[in-house]
Structure 1
Amino acid sequence: MKNTDTSLLVATRNANKTREFQGLLGDLLDPAWGVFDIASWGSAIPEVVEDAETFYENAIKKALEVSLSTGSVAMSDDSGLEVDALGGRPGVWSARYSGEGATDAKNNQKLVADLAGTPEAERGARFVCVAALAIPDTTVGRALLARAGRSFAEIGEAKPDRQGQLARVGTRIVVWFRGEVEGRIVDAPRGEHGFGYDPHFYLPELSKTMAELPAAEKNALSHRANALQKMSAFFQGKS
């Protein structure tokens, strides 16, 4: 069991995502803290069912449940694609858009089919990421709040429905940040990089799809990078 008092746990089993989080958060993380993910925590952490209807509610739920089960500060994210012509779908259902047994290929096939006949001007879309923190009264938690000019005791109960709002939910303080990348959906897939909807997500300013960008370039402008940069700036007094 890790020392929960000096730990920050990223609520993912993907070591690559954990490293990406660490790189994007930069100076926010103290070298004295232990940064772990679910796979490296060393004891079982129950799976979180992400059944909310918004990205921020899913991200908060995951962070809260992981923090409560481990005792540590927990960070999580929920991400997906919103398409204007589809009323914001697939949204929080992005990974399972094509139903049971969904795969990237099946999801993309459904996306293209659902947009059949939609003019180019009406194909606006965005990748969305909401990153959330659940903060207990630990050494790491108090340090984070101090950087934001707040103390654990002074933050009251509130519904955490506003970006950048510190709110108490039971025994935890929660806060979340939303990042976006705007683009539009194209029918023909392009590019060999990335995953998910990347081959169909076109960035007009770059004249490329997300899947045509090398990983480093994609990560630098991604919705996840945008959300985590907001989080880092908030806790460093730069927001």
Structure 2
Amino acid sequence: MEELSTSTVPEGAFVIATGNAGKRRELSKSLGELLDARWEVFDRKSFPHTLEEVVEDADTFEGNAIKKALWTARDTGRASLADDSGLVVAALGGAPGVYSARYSGEGATDASNNQKLTEAIAKLDASTWAGEAGPAARFETVLCLVLGADVVGRTLLARCGLTLDEVPMGAPRNEGELVRVGEWAVVWFRGRVEGQIVCEARGEGGFGYDPHFYVPALGRTMAELTLEEKGAISHRGVAVKRLRAFFGV
């Protein structure tokens, strides 16, 4: 992907505030007609030398997603989409939750996170759940879109019949409520998918905890689904559908 500085961002740029290539691919594909074909999609890795790292220190998914999206929009001067996602296992007290990406500590990888997860599951009383799959879990995401006065922002706000100046000032506390924070319009949506944890990894697709997240209705893990199948039922897929519906696409 082309390397940019924040002073050379194209006018028709749409920035997905992630350095995770798998997440960028999923979001780019699922956004579909929300994005004009003339716009260029970038991620944070497109700005290797000029974007400060975002510290994800909020204790909720929405807090982290809003912070990442606003931070990236301010740094690049362009429309920005961010999500904060995680795996929530009730039997583990809600862990890994907002710490999903760094569950196994500093320098965490998908492999080390999955190892810690399966080791924690193995210590639980398996008699509390039925069948081969393990305890109930859910994937949860909050997807936050931040729009400004650039061409992407103006175009998307126009689909709501608004200009940036007409968006009411406020705090982005409520899902699906468009508010203005300084020079930026902010809206966010939540998505969830229910499943179970399997300790044996299944499938080669996806990323993160996907090989261990079993979807009973489909009889497969997230990692065994095609990109299209995953987009139709995943937590990000649900949130993107709500975002697209908000803008009428």
Range of TM-score over shorter length: 0.7 to 0.9
Deviates more, 1:186-195 or 1:169-178: 186-195
CA distance in 1, matches of 2:97, 2:18: 20
SS at match of 2:42: strand
Q: How many residues align?
A: 236
Stretches of structure 1 that go unaligned for 5 or more consecutive residues are none
1:24 corresponds to which residue?
30
Stretches of structure 2 that go unaligned for 5 or more consecutive residues are 1-7
Query: What's the CA shift string for 1:153-205, capped at 9, x where partnerless?
Result: 22222221221111121221111111111101223333333332222211111
- Identity within the alignment, %: 53
Q: TM-score, normalised to structure 2's length?
A: 0.84
Q: TM-score, normalised to structure 1's length?
A: 0.87
Query: What's the CA shift string for 1:29-61, capped at 9, x where partnerless?
Result: 123333322333586222111111111111111
Q: Residue 227 of structure 1: CA displacement?
A: 1.4
1:70 corresponds to which residue?
76
1:139 corresponds to 2:151:
yes
Superposed CA RMSD in Å reads 2.3
Match of 1:111 among 108, 117, 132: 117
Q: 1:30 to 1:192 in 2, by over 3 A?
A: closer
SS at match of 2:45: coil
CA distance in 1, matches of 2:150, 2:236: 26
SS at match of 2:67: helix
CA distance in 1, matches of 2:206, 2:79: 30
1:217 corresponds to which residue?
229
Q: Residue 113 of structure 1: CA displacement?
A: 3.5
CA distance in 2, matches of 1:173, 1:142: 10
CA distance in 2, matches of 1:191, 1:72: 36
Q: Residues 30-45 of structure 1 correspond to what in structure 2 (within 5 A)?
A: 30-40=36-46, 44-45=50-51
